[in-house]
Chains A and B, each alone.
Chain A
Amino acid sequence: MNEVELLRQLRDGLPAARPEVRAAARADLMTRIEHSEKPLRPPAGRPWWRRPRLRLAAAGVCAAAFLIALPIGIFGGSGKVQPAVAQVLRDAARVAATQEPVAPGPGQYLFTRSKDAYLSAVGYDPDDPDCQRPPCEATETWSVLVPSVRESWISFDGSRRGRVRAVSGKPKFVSAGQRAGWVAAGSPPLPRAGQVEDSGLSSGGMLDASVLPTDPVELRHLIEARKIRGIEGPPGEAETFTLIGDMLRETYLPSDVRAAIYRLTAELPGVELLGEVHDPVGRLGTGIAFTDRKRGTRHELIFDPATAALLGERESIVRSAPYGFKAPPGTPIGYAAYLESRVVDSVGQEAPAGAGGFDHSVGCYAQASLHSNTAIVHGADPIATCAEIWREGAMDTSRGPSSPHLVACAYEGSPVALVFPGSGSAVCRHLGLVPFPAG
């Protein structure tokens, strides 16, 4: 064997370039190509992702983040009450009245396991080391649905901290067009599956059934006036429909209150009957929907006619580009299926071992407005967590690596911190919020 043959065996058969390395190199090249006619920008690098505006089916602690992050639906929906849907919902109310859930004891938790998916944007941040000064523009972003398996433990009597644990799945592009854009940009790395979000819920997360009337007219009035703690949000019929979903998911309510919810929904204008439909995991149920024409989305609730339990829900777009991307009407932008619900004695019961953490859910807002772009994150210190995101340039790419003064607010009684640029509690009051943490 000659020396060249021997050399050929040396360090032979090493693994090929890792896919993420290849993708990052290609993204660098595509950025260079894209800007070859313009002044060069720093190469694209570290992927980041953020969750704009929507997080469907993130009940309990996250419901507030979901609600407030949506554009106002003041003029949404203005249909009439349909006799068919009213009949189906009155039937559901009768069923609900006969299904008394197991009454929880003091200190117990409601455990819920669900599968959901929410709209998220994947994109690129300019590579940190090369971006010494502004402007460091983020390049294009693409919309994906990130599925997750979510488990929550919520304290019934509000005396204990709860927990939410979600494990993400593989992101899926919302449309062929979004995927094509991502491919054209060199298929940059996507968020990996298997990311775990594990956060504590401060006590008081559970809707307090004892204050809820069993008379549907009275209950509807309280909901529409946004007078129920934990069921707050902007005005509008679409919002009311969303709040009804909030009351049915990840909650414990006595049978007469649940019956009242179905009865009042039967009287709501604009609610459509979808008939027998499949929920997001393929179970058959009865579907009702509300279309928010102003926002361009439709929200479906699917319940089991035999038990009046909420099986799942789905949100889809009804016109192109309500969220800034083009996709055919009917394209889903979020869904949830409620798989299991039971009373347990401790947080973490039913959960895989090894996880923990007591972070807050935090919405970082780009402007002092509830309708500005939002990044939803978790962290022990809401202001420090958002300041970090500002310094990364993810909130405002023109700022460079700095954070403005930030102030943390919340809906009264909500454990979700909402962090805005600005200083002083006046910012919170101006937005109809209270300083966080309360007191």
Chain B
Amino acid sequence: MDHRALDSDAISASATTPAEFAAIFDRHFDAVHAYLQRRIGRDLADELSAEAFLLAFDGRARYDLSRPDARPWLFGIATNLLHRHRRHELRELRAYARSATDPILDAFDGVDARIDASSTRRKLIDALAGVPAEELDALLLLAWADFSYTEIAEALAIPIGTVRSRLSRARARIRAALEVESTPTQRQPIGDEGGQR
């Protein structure tokens, strides 16, 4: 129904009429699922995207009604769920780097999961496996969810300055990995985390 044009209106109405929350699902489920699927594969995405909307519904009273678009909030919930599967995500990224097939793409019929051993894509994926989780969240919300810096800040509940520094470090890591003739086991330590040891 169109009379709740803004997400914040639907969420507000759902306080007294819970069924209004269905509009949030209808508007955003596909996007949330697509993002999760790209990060951790189809099967886990099926599970986590459903869970994300249950958590969102349960937590709707805490939604900031001054924000008309619920996307950052929903992607923030999805990102928190992803952290439970961080090890899985890393494993998949490393498998990708080693085996020349992307296990996430491999789950789909008719999608070519093979990757040239020397390709940029392979270096890229290898570099992603080395990006710390909080930087990776910011980077992939930017690249795969088309989020603005402000939206990333909302989703991850961090100040916008922190978004900038995380993105800057993550991008530098990726650039370095692409420029260096690296093998999957050699990585350039960049930024705070890299220099801690």
Contact = CB atoms under 8 A, between A and B. Distances in A.
Contact of B22 (A10, A11, A26, A36): A26
A221 to B, nearest CB: 60
Q: Which 9 A-B pairs have the closest CB atoms?
A: A25-B50, A7-B143, A17-B33, A3-B174, A33-B18, A36-B18, A21-B46, A11-B38, A29-B53
A133 interface: no
B18 to A, nearest CB: 4
Given A11-B104, A29-B54, A17 B34 contact: yes
A33 B57 contact: yes
Nearest to A26: B25
Given A30-B22, A43-B54, A17 B144 contact: no
B111 interface: yes
A6 B174 CA distance: 10
Nearest to B175: A3
Interface stretch (B70-78, B81-89, B118-126, B152-160): B118-126
Interface of B: 18-19, 21-22, 25-26, 29-30, 33-34, 37-38, 42, 45-46, 49-50, 53-54, 57-58, 102, 104-105, 108, 111, 120-121, 124-125, 128, 139-140, 142-144, 171, 174-175, 178
How large, as a class, is the contact surface on chain A? 20 to 34
Contacts of B38: 11, 14
A17 B120 contact: no
A8 interface: yes
Most chain B C-beta atoms within 10 Å of own C-beta, residue among A7, A22, A26, A32: A7
Interface in A180-212: 186
Contacts of B42: 14
Interface in A1-34: 2-4, 6-11, 14-18, 21-22, 24-26, 28-30, 32-34
A25 B49 contact: yes
Contacts of A2: 171
Contacts of B102: 11
Contact of B21 (A10, A14, A28, A33): A33
Contact of B139 (A7, A26, A30): A7
B105 A11 contact: yes
B22 A17 contact: no
B119 to A, nearest CB: 11
A9 B53 CA distance: 27
A8 B33 contact: no
Given A14-B38, A32-B54, A32-B58, 20 more contacts: A3-B124, A3-B171, A4-B139, A6-B120, A6-B124, A7-B143, A8-B143, A8-B144, A10-B124, A14-B34, A14-B42, A14-B111, A16-B34, A17-B29, A22-B30, A25-B25, A26-B25, A28-B50, A29-B21, A29-B22
Given A14-B105, A33-B21, A186-B22, A3 B178 contact: yes
A356 to B, nearest CB: 28
Contacts of A36: 18, 57
Contacts of B19: 30, 33
Contacts of A32: 54, 57-58
15 contacts: A2-B171, A3-B171, A6-B174, A10-B121, A14-B42, A15-B108, A17-B37, A21-B46, A24-B50, A26-B26, A29-B25, A32-B54, A32-B57, A33-B21, A37-B18
Contacts of A186: 22
A32 B54 CA distance: 7
A163 B142 CA distance: 60
Contacts of B37: 14, 17
Contacts of B54: 28-29, 32, 43
Nearest to B39: A11
A34 B18 CA distance: 8
A58 to B, nearest CB: 37
A30 to B, nearest CB: 7
Given A4-B142, A4-B143, A22 B104 contact: no
A7 B144 contact: yes
A133 to B, nearest CB: 21
Contacts of A17: 29-30, 33-34, 37, 45-46, 49
B167 to A, nearest CB: 9
A11 B38 CA distance: 6
Contacts of B105: 11, 14
Contacts of A43: 54
B42 to A, nearest CB: 8
B137 to A, nearest CB: 13
A25 B53 contact: yes
A18 B142 CA distance: 25
Nearest to B142: A4
Contacts of A16: 30, 33-34
A46 B30 CA distance: 21
Contacts of B175: 3
Nearest to A16: B30
Given A24-B50, A33-B18, A4 B171 contact: yes
Which of A29, A34, A37, A186 has its CB near the most chain B CB atoms (within 10 A)?
A: A29
Interface in A26-73: 26, 28-30, 32-34, 36-37, 43
A13 to B, nearest CB: 8
A55 to B, nearest CB: 35
Nearest to A6: B124
Nearest to A25: B50
Contacts of B33: 16-17, 21-22
B148 to A, nearest CB: 13
Nearest to B110: A15
A14 B128 CA distance: 19
